[in-house]
Structure 1
């Protein structure tokens, strides 16, 4: 159980044009200027007003394809993955518009050299005063491999083994400059002390020898974030991650996942309290419970059955003949296991389909509405109470908040839920006073001194 002074972490996941709600891009309450800097800076200022830990940008390196290798469905429907700006470039604009908000950038270890990862992220980390997190992904699809000149994506174990080497090399590059290596000693004419700058040990595993062209991070090193949910992914997260982004449909699933992650972190020789488990939630709010459910129904009413079935077929690489709305969703998922490239996400879909005895139509609607993530639907005070119960019971160390609509859903959360969390003593009222420009670094936020 939590102590009375423990507070949760909150991260906002931002991936327009759809978020997890497939009709986001065409909803009248959603902004459509997600190719402009103003979309992200306005949203970031809202999150900073709410004292969020971080804005996190996911990424993929190809437009998602269907079973025939076509991207038509994704682009015609505005499906998830149809648009991705480069996260590091986008977050550079956010950094200039904010002072405290963490900046979470997704970068693939499969197709990005270790030196380039280390240099890009550390550049942004210096420019933002120590607010960067690296969301580590291995990439999952052949479509992404094709964009980098490869015929197929490597097998999962091979991708994760390579990712282990890349992460270790990036950390070695970040640590190559000792904290006091940059001396700027004018009288002695010494810019930096070369004795305090080193190459990557053991020749950099053939990935990079270093040293990096940048001194040590203002926060020691950027925060590491990861979302692996398979056995191999959990081992990877337990070894490296400061923050784990998880998908779970029920409170019990959250508790089970968090216990498993903490056990694996301990087995890896790490302090489990230094690994924050943050499941995804998609709150739908209204002044009352009835109003919130009415708002949810409005989201459902914008869905078109043929459209959501086509999107589900694209996701699972299924043929049109398999999308009979009345057939078993469980059978469909079992036939196409592995299609999404995310074992943990597919396990959550399958568990939910079994538990709720879903038809293909039910699954298509749920996938288009929220991707079946945990969805509190209620007034702000009731949603705050629900999140506190999850936090206090050990189901989560905080949450990744996924808005249904940009930017109104996050504005509602900041205006309604955040004050209720603060009133209950479960969320910060300010960012504090340590660190550059009066703000704690992101590492200090997740790992406070003595914490």
Structure 2
């Protein structure tokens, strides 16, 4: 077996990314409503031999405590703009040949058959490079946009997601691998005996199949998931091939990876090596450590505290006029528990705030800078050192790279850090295959 190597995925959600000022920063590209933005991004990450690029999504503009969307739009808050991820990965598929293509699709609102057909279509057209980032959605605003009065509770959402994923997987395999015959001389297109409806189960069926597409070149699209609550981790252990994790500390990262691998093995009989746990990081790369620290200081200087407090209040459904910037952040988080709809995200905010003794002002600034995701800052050598340490200590199988700025943060990483990791033998020097699943096993 070859030596274990790192895996990298680029996360894309302009115009803000994880850095709230990206849309107005002089080094941030502003053409995120044009195809060239995504074509260039895909080519850059493919040049860096990334396993995959994936596109985040939500189905509503985030609302404030009164149910209004004005604050989000006025401030350019995260979620102001979301392109359809499946359409966007289809565009990137046409200008690349190897990099994997991940789209976020909600199990709560999109029928299983539609999910199966959309993603398998992209998988075929790209030669086996598609992935599904599975989400359940979290807000009432999304539910109302999709014709529901309110979002279901987390346990119900995950129970439904289990049924949807199970159905989608069966639809993807409703054609046996050799069912598409294409026998020209025998005038036989497909073998009906090799195409099946899906298994009947108790309750209302989500689909009966078969799908109108044969099997994928890579078996089926790769499954990705980012739930961090106990129920989310159980879901990931059952289904995920790639897990998007956010660790507060190195030991926390290591424990999460260990727990996921153990749950997959014990609860579902899976080979734990089938799951890649990728930790989210925001790299700030300079040619020297001093240069990188200056870049970070420049990013921080663009953040206006009153604006950051307004955004934090909107996120937590708090009254911005009542925020005390010098108050302990933990008090604010406790008073507005449940506001975001994501248990795991709120636990992460509380954990970081406790460890770093944040005030409300500190929390607001860090949320605008990096959404409290870990930063790796320094020269290519320094950043590679930090990533290598996390990788070798089994805190991560690789990393979700979340840029501060589009596209310069990705370009700095690809031009500086990737060659350093290749020199150390920690990252591939070429793609070993054509499909995403081949990349993930390399």
Query: What range is the shorter-chain TM-score in?
Result: over 0.9
Per-residue deviation, 1:175: 0.4
Residue 124 (structure 1) aligns with: 122
1:243 aligns with 2:237: no
Partner of 1:260: 259
Specify the alignment match of 1:155 in structure 2: 153
**1:202 corresponds to which residue?**
200
1:25-64 alignment, distance < 5 Å = 25-64=23-62
Structure-2-length-normalised TM-score: 0.98
1:311-326 to structure 2, matched below 5 A, reads 311-326=311-326
2:419 alignment partner in structure 1: 419
Give the equivalent residue in structure 2 for 1:215. Answer: 214
Length-normalised TM-score, structure 1:
0.96
| Residue in 2 that maps onto 1:66 | 64
Structure 1: stretches of 5+ with no match in the other structure: none
1:203–1:209 contact (8 Å) kept in structure 2: no
- Report deviation, 1:249: 2.5
Q: Distance in 2 between matches of 1:196 and 1:4?
A: 36
Distance 1:445 1:286 in 2: 28
1:140-179, aligned counterparts within 5 Å?
A: 140-179=138-177
Shift of residue 321 of structure 1?
Answer: 3.9
How far apart, CA to CA, are the structure 2 residues paired with 1:253 and 1:339? 24
Report the Cα distance in structure 1 between the residues aligned to 2:50 and 2:299, rounded to whole angstroms: 26
4+ long deviations beyond 2 Å: none
**How many residues end up aligned between the 2 structures?**
440
CA distance in 2, matches of 1:223, 1:395: 22
Name the residue aligned to 1:351.
351
Alignment match of 1:84 (pick from 82, 85, 88) = 82
Change (3 A) 1:197 1:203: farther
Partner Cα distance (2:277, 2:337) in 1: 26
Contact 1:8 1:427 in 2 (8 A): yes
1:228 aligns with: 227
Residue in 1 that maps onto 2:334? 334
Aligned equivalents of 2:320, 2:390: Cα separation in 1? 40
Counterpart residue number, 1:106: 104
**What is the deviation of 1:189?**
1.2
Taking the aligned partners of 2:252 and 2:295, their CA distance within structure 1 comes to: 26
Unaligned runs of 5+ in 2: none
Distance 1:94 1:244 in 2: 22
CA distance in 1, matches of 2:105, 2:78: 18
Partner of 1:75: 73
The 2-side partners of 1:351 and 1:322 are apart by 23
Secondary structure at the residue paired with 2:374? coil
Distance 1:52 1:211 in 2: 34
Deviations 1:394-444 (A, max 9, x none): 000000000000000000000000000101111000002x4xxxx2x1112
Name the CA distance, whole Å, in 2 between partners of 1:423 and 1:251: 24
Please report how far the alpha carbon of residue 148 of structure 1 lies from its aligned counterpart in structure 2 after TM superposition: 1.2
What is the distance in 1 between the residues matched to 2:178 and 2:356? 58
Q: Is the 8 A contact 1:134 1:222 kept in 2?
A: yes
Structure 1 distance, partners of 2:264, 2:352, is 27
Q: Superposition RMSD on alpha carbons, in Å?
A: 1.2
